[in-house]
């Protein structure tokens, strides 16, 4: 009979929750049970961990094995628990001293060959571990620079389970071949949410906004440039209206170029959101400039606010935290009407409804073209909220009171037949 425990972190939105991973070995028929509200990817860790331990030169215990994730009432998601589960099993089998594992937080996915793969949300996970009082964190080597941004935490980056076991048992650390730097890293495959209809404005330059857009390149547009500068200086919302080709998108794309660099705290907040979304620029883990996010006008509520099936992901509003959220063609953008006075966007539905909230302190830029029906939009202040009557909301780019012309309505009044609506002759 053996018992060992270590710790890992699960993410609820962009906030981390420290989870204690406990392994218990008892005599009986060989079986592997994982309890504690795991999702599908975490349940499959049983096969990954078993193969990784065997292929790393270890011996899998042929006993009744139970792995518990505490607190059991918090849903756990993702493959970042693989490293903690493997080490807790080896500790219960007395391959590793269990006393060494109790004060370490381990985050990482295991391949079948024992390699440690990176996962999303390393920075918020390490921040949660530091807030809980942990001082030692084990992460994949490719994510060690991101984890090292948190002060007061000792970070150990490993390439394989073999190396981690050697470090914990004071044995010589084996050499592992590094990945080829000239080709895309296969370990980073799957960490990016492609096709989400969101452009974050991050270029290949790590941690920097796209330097190809500069407000100094704009010729003319003196009134519009002044409005952009005032909005950037005071953190105001901006509404641009004009025909196609007038320069609305051109000015909005260059708004981040005149915003000041982010301070240390704001940089960590922005980096944490992009880390959870898997959108960190390669090569440099810290984002130190204001982000720019431009969702498509057909983006859904989950794409704008966040959420979605399974693990909650930050939406466009949170990806533009401390930066610029550009809503093009606001008459078509079905943005949700949610107050953001507290600086957070709660998940509206799904598994994490009411449990997850992402930061969303942004400056919004909205555009709209002229009316298609020959009526010019008239501004209706409505107690200073800056809305347009029957059209787009300047502050959040939503649509209220929109009405189609009679010729394009989906429901039409049935034709009146002779005698309908009249009293029958007495």
pLDDT band, very low/low/confident/very high, at 242 (cuts 50, 70, 90): confident
pLDDT band, very low/low/confident/very high, at 351 (cuts 50, 70, 90): very low
Alpha-carbon distances of 199 from 179, 237, 253, rounded to whole Å: 29, 19, 11
Residue 3 pLDDT: 96
- State the CATH number of the domain containing residue 320: 3.40.50.300
Same domain, 239 and 346: yes
pLDDT at 424 over 50: no
* Contact by Cβ (8 Å): 313, 339: no
What range does the domain containing 230 cover?
A: 198-401
Name the token pair of 378. 């008239």
Please state the φ and ψ torsions of residue 421, each to the nearest 5 degrees. Answer: 80, 10
- In terms of phi and psi (left: phi > 0; alpha: psi -120 to 50; beta: otherwise), the region of 257 is alpha
Same domain, 155 and 213: no
pLDDT at 103 over 80: yes
Same domain, 227 and 135: no
The H or E element spanning position 50 is: helix 45-55
pLDDT band, very low/low/confident/very high, at 313 (cuts 50, 70, 90): confident
| 419 found inside a domain | no
| 410 found inside a domain | no
| 334 found inside a domain | yes
Q: E strands, 220-276, where?
A: 238-241
DSSP letter, residue 392:
B
- List CB contacts of 106: < 8 A, sequence separation 6 or more: 6, 7, 8, 83, 84, 87, 137, 138
Alpha-carbon distances of 248 from 227, 300, 332, rounded to whole Å: 12, 23, 16
Same domain, 170 and 275: no
Q: Which of 159, 188, 217 lies at the terminal end of a domain, its last residue?
A: 188
Residue 285 pLDDT: 85
Same domain, 299 and 171: no
Same domain, 230 and 338: yes
Report pLDDT digits (tens) over 371-387.
443 343 333 333 333 33
Residue 205 pLDDT: 38
pLDDT band, very low/low/confident/very high, at 209 (cuts 50, 70, 90): very low
Closest CA to 130 of 139, 119, 140: 139
What pTM does this model have?
Answer: 0.73
Determine which of 20-24, 129-133, 308-312, 326-330 has the lowest per-residue pLDDT on average.
308-312
| 412 found inside a domain | no
Same domain, 29 and 120: yes
| 407 found inside a domain | no
Same domain, 54 and 177: yes
Same domain, 162 and 222: no
Same domain, 175 and 202: no
Residue 113 pLDDT: 94
pLDDT at 341 over 70: no
Determine which of 143-147, 162-166, 405-409 has the lowest per-residue pLDDT on average.
405-409
Name the domain count of the chain.
2
- In terms of phi and psi (left: phi > 0; alpha: psi -120 to 50; beta: otherwise), the region of 195 is left
Q: Which of 164, 188, 212 lies at the terminal end of a domain, its last residue?
A: 188
Give the end-to-end CA distance of the chain in Å, rounded to a whole number.
98
- What is the dihedral angle through the alpha carbons of 36, 40, 43, 47, rounded to the nearest 10 degrees? -170
- State the CATH number of the domain containing residue 54: 3.30.230.10
pLDDT at 151 over 50: yes
Same domain, 379 and 329: yes
Report pLDDT digits (tens) over 14-59.
889 999 999 999 999 999 999 999 999 999 999 999 999 999 999 9
| 11 found inside a domain | yes
Same domain, 169 and 36: yes
- List CB contacts of 297: < 8 A, sequence separation 6 or more: 327, 328, 329, 330, 332, 333
Number of H helices and number of E strands within the chain? 12, 20
Q: Which of 135, 170, 188 lies at the terminal end of a domain, its last residue?
A: 188
| 406 found inside a domain | no
Higher pLDDT pick, 57 / 406: 57
């Amino acid at each position: 009979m053996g018992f060992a425990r270590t710790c890992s972190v699960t993410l609820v939105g962009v906030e981390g929750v420290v989870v204690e991973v406990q392994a218990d070995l008892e005599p009986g028929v060989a079986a592997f049970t994982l309890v504690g509200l795991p999702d599908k990817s975490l349940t499959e860790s049983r096969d990954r961990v078993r193969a990784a331990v065997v292929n790393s030169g270890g011996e899998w215990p042929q006993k009744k094995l139970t792995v518990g994730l505490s607190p059991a009432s918090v849903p756990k998601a993702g493959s970042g628990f693989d490293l903690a589960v493997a080490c807790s099993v080896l500790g219960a089998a007395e391959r590793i001293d269990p006393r060494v594992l109790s004060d370490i937080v381990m985050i990482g996915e295991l391949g079948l060959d024992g390699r440690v793969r990176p996962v999303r949300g390393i920075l918020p996970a390490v921040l949660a571990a530091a807030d809980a009082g942990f001082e030692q964190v084990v992460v994949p080597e490719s994510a060690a620079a991101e984890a090292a941004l948190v002060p007061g935490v000792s970070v150990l980056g490993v390439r394989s389970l073999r190396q981690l076991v050697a470090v914990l048992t004071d044995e010589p650390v084996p050499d592992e071949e590094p990945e080829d730097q000239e080709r895309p890293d296969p370990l980073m495959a799957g960490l990016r949410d492609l096709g989400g209809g969101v452009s974050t404005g991050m270029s290949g330059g790590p941690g920097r906004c796209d330097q190809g857009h500069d407000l100094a390149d704009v010729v003319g547009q003196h009134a519009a440039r002044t409005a952009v500068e005032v909005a950037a200086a005071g953190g105001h919302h901006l509404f641009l209206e004009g025909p196609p080709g007038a320069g609305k998108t051109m000015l909005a794309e260059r708004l981040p170029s005149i915003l000041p660099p982010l301070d240390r705290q704001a940089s960590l907040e922005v980096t944490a959101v992009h880390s959870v979304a898997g959108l960190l620029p390669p090569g440099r883990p810290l984002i130190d400039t204001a982000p720019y996010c431009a969702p498509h006008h057909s983006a859904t509520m989950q794409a704008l606010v966040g959420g979605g099936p399974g693990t909650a992901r930050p939406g466009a509003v949170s990806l533009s935290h401390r930066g610029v959220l550009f809503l093009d063609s606001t008459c078509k953008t079905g943005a949700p009407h949610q107050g953001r006075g507290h600086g957070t966007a709660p998940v509206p539905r799904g598994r994490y409804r009411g449990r997850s909230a992402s930061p969303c302190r942004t400056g919004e830029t909205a555009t709209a073209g002229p009316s298609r029906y020959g009526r010019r939009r008239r501004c209706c202040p409505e107690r200073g909220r800056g809305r347009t009557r029957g059209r787009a909301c300047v502050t959040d780019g939503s649509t209220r009171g929109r009405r189609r012309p009679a010729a394009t309505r989906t429901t039409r009044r049935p034709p009146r037949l002779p005698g309908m609506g009249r009293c029958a002759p007495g």
